[in-house]
Chain A
Amino acid sequence: MKLFLLLLIAQQPTAPAVKVDSETISGLGARNIGSAAMSGRIAALAAVHEDARLTLYVGAASGGLWKSVNGGTTFKPVFDKQPVQSIGAVTIDPKNPKVIWVGTGESWMRNSVSIGDGIYRSDDGGENWTNMGLRESEHIVKILVDPTATNTVYACVPGKLWSDSDERGVYRTTDGGKTWSKVLKGGNLSTGCSMMSMDPSNSKTLYAGMWDFRRKGWTFRSGGDSATAPSASGLFKSVDGGATWTELTSTSASGLPAKPWGRVAVSVAPSKPEIVYAFIEAVPPLNALYRSDNGGKTWQILDRSQNMIWRPFYFANLIVDPRDPDRIYKPDGGLIVSTDGGKSFSGISGGAHGDFHDVWVDPSNPDHLITGDDGGLWFSYDAGNKWVKNENLPVSQFYHVSVDMDRPYNVYGGLQDNSSWVGPSEYPGGITNHQWENMYGGDGFWMFVDPTDPDYLYAEYQGGEIGRVNRKSHETRNIRPLPRYQEKKLRFNWNTPIHISPTQKGTIYLGAQVLFRSKDFGQTWERISPDLTTNDPQKQRQEQSGGVTVDNSAAEMHTTIYAIAESPKDPQVIWVGTDDGNLQVTRDGGKTWANVVANIPGLPKNAWVSSVEPGHFAPGTIYATFDVHTFGDMRPYAYRSTDFGKTWTALVAPDSPVRGYAHVIKEDLVDSNLLFLGTELGLWISVDGGKQWAHYKGGDLPAVAVRDLAIHPRDHDLVIGTHGRGIWIVDDITPLRALTPDILASSAAFLPGRPTIERLQTSGGWSNGDAMYVGPNPPGDAVITYYQRRRHIFGDMKLGVYDASGKLLGTMPTSKRRGLSRVTWSMRLAAPRVPPAASAAFGATVGPRVLPGTYTVKLTKDTATYTTQLVLVPDPRGTHTQEERQAALNLALKISGTLTDMTFAVERMNGMRQALDDRAGKLPANDGLTRRLRTASGVVDSLRKKIVATKEGGMITGEERLRENLTDLYGNIVFYDGGPTQTETERADAVARELADVTRDFDAWTSRELAGINTALRGKKLEPIVLITREQWEGKTAAGQ
């Protein structure tokens, strides 16, 4: 028998494999909860007046290109369909404002900078884009269009940050981007163009700064390896449109500093182009602003104030006022301006965030400035004296996310140069910038609520500066572990991992080169490992990092622990990954450690362990991602082991569609085959344990860096931490868990969801204007998810909801798309019938909510039907009992009944009025019967006017009759889930009685008058009047007449 069963199972036809692609899963939408409160780094700006309005393009460092057609009141992202989101340059064609050039790959070369894939052109103001080449450049900092021949375009290409490459320097096209030629080449494979400027009066004259630079995981050089090492950086000039270039040096152009140089910025004064400014990162004290008054022949050293010379790799831009050749803006840590031709500078950062990168000066009004910094976009209308913050760009750059167990839950995360914030996953009226709260400082990374005390949280800033923060008072205690006697510096990564034990409340981990564990809120730290890194001294020379200008900010701190995770199945099993390529595991709580990285086939040496994810179902299962981009390899590496790291399976096959270096992998908490992989270029989902990956684009999530993910253990939401577009939430991923091959092969199928909460009916928020970002809430209605193998095009496709008795409660339109779809049901019965009156009764335009319980949903698709159960549960935040809900529903239904009676009553009266007026109209005006009929109509109308308000004209008449009384009462009942008040219950009865009084008066009048009127009508050979019966009326309304 058993054998027979086995044979039977073996003979079951297996479902044909259906490809799971982006569109299969992206119908499960995501919502972007922001925030634009902190916003994020802006790398480049361009603007143009189109007629009287200002069109503005804002290039986010890692969050796409945003366009405003109203000077910055509102923005829309216009680059979201492109495969990269890092913007380095944006330029508007000076002759045609619809032609936009974008250089992808930001060039403010910090450790976390993203990558681009070439130069793009749009001919329709950003609606559509074409990649015009330079695909291997990775970074482009400036694009110049020749105003006299706009098919001639120059691209200033720094080139790859992490590896040698040939595609860097100055490129020129003369055919609108079809072909490019390199017209200025660097002296070696690490030298590219760092800035470029054109003489607007003679577009053949160009200046280009060339920059020799390289970043590694543990060091950076701007220039050579040290302040005095040779560098290929330099300043060049062409007077023939780039055909030939002359290097300007201290020899050929007196006044320039001696080599070696680091980064070079250059800018021609548009209003007096023989004046040229250059910032040159020369060896101190010659690192300064230089000015030439003769087109570069001779130069004069000018300002070298702090914000002129600080961090040239990150700040190397000069903007000269278009009208005033002596007014120069230098974006830096602070924004500075000179009004005396560069001799002196003043700080004008005001209340802006800081770390500026670009400035746009309105050529028609130089008081009007727009600038972008690490905290977003800012507007000034008084030449930079004061700044207005933009509140509408959710380009925030999160490193990590976590969630708590509040209802609704909160999202926590740290951001690049923007501290550590907490915001709600939903809020009445939407999640505005005001709902987000800053809890710490510096650059933010990992952030968690303390599981033992939700009034406290852990946050950090760069270099392991962990603090325990009181959520309410914001009091902060630094609890960073410190070196012991004569111990060298503890090596904490820029992005130091904090890990909260999933099994032991109150236990936290922190990684330096050793693993720390605390069980007392950081009061004491136990070292539970030896140095787990390679401890390679060659990678510990951060004090020499920077090249010409030393820059030791903790960003290059290396040979550190970068990833920590304790197994949720066994607290003795702890995984640690390091930035220098070690993957260590202990199975005895830290007593002994094994480095298992060598067991991973095909993994490049010293690959940065970007995340570790112990399995949720077996203690030996571990997932890990590796990031090799710091060696110039942008491919994703993700692996799984099920035997504590002895053997490994690659999860990203060479022919996989996954793109971008990998930051994070997460195994679902319920389905071990459901995996989420975040890379520099988006989010990828697998429903089959990593065999197939699909690019998730739900809610139009672009190809932005997905740095971290969190799955809410109670609500089953996927929270996506992006580095450039804030936080996104996929509400309820339960359907993904059910995407089995059988389901995928079926024509259509319902997919399960979490129990649907009948959310408390709340209100909140206020008028924010249009210049404020508001993150959407999850649907307040019940969400029903289904799958279709193909789009439904022909024939009906409808959803109906039924109660336990099989009664149809409502029908809903359906989404027709291929793959997963979501539709919503209001969880309300039909709205009551309401008699017509002067104004609509908006309180009664919806029906009462159904009670929590189980309902049946039926999908009809052509002739096929599919059913599923929908479970509605009360909002756990509420205190309303089932009895109270029932009482409210009963009263709402009772009022609905009264409103139906009222509608019938008014219908009868209107029918009578119409009949009387109709007959009167057929008689001579001076006929006695005419007058009688008109009088009768007036009597009936006076009765009607006791029921419904009738004053018209569009004013606030304040007129309230029974209809208005009752619909207002009804609204108060159905928009609150608890029981009605005593006075509400009594009022419903009172109005019903008052209606009965009027109805009785009408009936009495009818009995008294109608027979006589009909006799008189017959006498005039007119049709007698017959009142509609309730039965007839019900039949008429049921037929939809």
Chain B
Amino acid sequence: MRSTLLKITALAVCATPLSAQSVDSIIGKYIQASGGIAKIQALQTLRRTGKYTGGGGFEAVVIQENKRPTSVREEFSIQGMTGINAYDGRDGWKIEPWQGKRDPESLGEDEMHGILDDADFDGPLVNYQAKGNKVEFQGTEQIEGSDAYKLKVTRPNGDVSFYYLDTEYYVPIRIDTQRMIRGAPQEFETSLGDYKQVNGVYLPFSSESGAKGSSSTDRGKITYDKIEANVPLDNVRFSRPGAGGGARP
């Protein structure tokens, strides 16, 4: 980690003037700072395990499993009950057991937008052209006290995210997302931090998310205790089970 940090610091010293920045050079430096494309692509699965902290003392255990190319399963557990949102690259489904119903249901339009973002294994910047994402460089802005490069990412479904990359270290420190849901905009903000290496790739171990403009107390915070790379994840974990498929007490 120390050596990588030194490399990143060296990168920071060589930071290119703003005028010379371009989308591809910024994304290139982001990939380089993250660990390089080879190490990124060597990740085949990720399992993130941690804690969700809401306001007022509410906590839950969260697990997010990702598998290339676009499978994701997100678990949220309290009191031995587990809610699931998942996507297998084709079908998005959920189980919400909190009020006595454990049948898998289809994710709603709002949720599908969110899970498609989460299913993008490397995020929208890596190989953005191949994914059909449009990325524009929109200059630098002060974000939470730090200078950040602002990249506007427009996904094929029209959703827009603004990625703010720290101008010294080239990792995202905040993502602002605008989704059009039933013709109306929904806006969210996510702050990222606690980057640590997983199989040679820097990943954020903490995030804080909420509606745009919401106060910190109204935001959900996720802190991962561990992120495991390349653990075997059977495809069946991502596919919709039959009726009543949720874990039974």
Contact = CB atoms under 8 A, between A and B. Distances in A.
Interface of A: 22-24, 26-27, 29, 31, 51, 53, 69-70, 76, 128, 699-700, 776, 779-781, 790-798, 810-819, 822-824, 826-828, 830-831, 833-841, 844-847, 903, 906, 910, 948, 950-955, 957, 1040
29 contacts: A27-B145, A29-B215, A29-B216, A69-B184, A780-B55, A780-B56, A780-B217, A781-B55, A790-B146, A791-B144, A791-B173, A793-B166, A793-B193, A794-B5, A794-B194, A794-B195, A815-B191, A816-B206, A818-B145, A824-B216, A833-B79, A835-B249, A836-B79, A839-B99, A840-B97, A844-B79, A845-B58, A846-B58, A1040-B61
Contacts of B196: 794-796
Contacts of B249: 835-838, 906, 910, 948, 950
Contacts of A76: 213
A685 to B, nearest CB: 15
B79 A834 contact: yes
Contacts of A845: 58, 78-79
A813 B217 contact: no
B169 A815 contact: no
Nearest to A963: B79
A810 B56 CA distance: 12
A812 B59 CA distance: 10
Interface majority SS (helix, strand, loop, mixed), chain A? loop
The size class of the interface chain B forms with chain A is: 35 or more
Contacts of A830: 59
B100 A813 contact: no
A826 B79 contact: no
B79 A817 contact: no
B183 interface: yes
Contact of B145 (A24, A827, A952): A24
Contact of B79 (A790, A811, A841): A841
Contacts of B65: none
Nearest to A798: B223
A840 B78 contact: yes
A781 B100 CA distance: 31
Contacts of B191: 815-817
B42 to A, nearest CB: 21
Contacts of A824: 55, 216-217
B73 interface: no
A791 B213 contact: no
A780 B58 CA distance: 13
Interface in B37-58: 53, 55-58
Interface of B: 1, 5, 53, 55-59, 61, 78-81, 97-102, 138, 142, 144-146, 166, 169, 171, 173, 183-185, 191, 193-196, 202, 205-206, 208, 213, 215-217, 221-223, 249
A840 B171 contact: no
B173 A816 contact: yes
Contacts of A833: 79
Nearest to A127: B178
A395 B119 CA distance: 41
A427 to B, nearest CB: 16
A952 B56 contact: no
Contact of A847 (B57, B145, B208): B57
Contacts of A951: 100
Given A794-B202, A816-B173, 12 more contacts: A23-B142, A779-B215, A781-B56, A793-B193, A813-B53, A817-B191, A826-B58, A840-B81, A840-B98, A845-B58, A847-B57, A953-B101
Given A781-B217, A795-B194, A831 B59 contact: yes
Given A816-B191, A839-B98, A954-B101, A796 B216 contact: no
Nearest to A780: B56
A790 B166 CA distance: 11
Contacts of A810: 57
Given A813-B223, A844-B79, A31 B215 contact: yes
Residue picked from B55, B99, B208, most chain A C-beta under 10 Å: B99
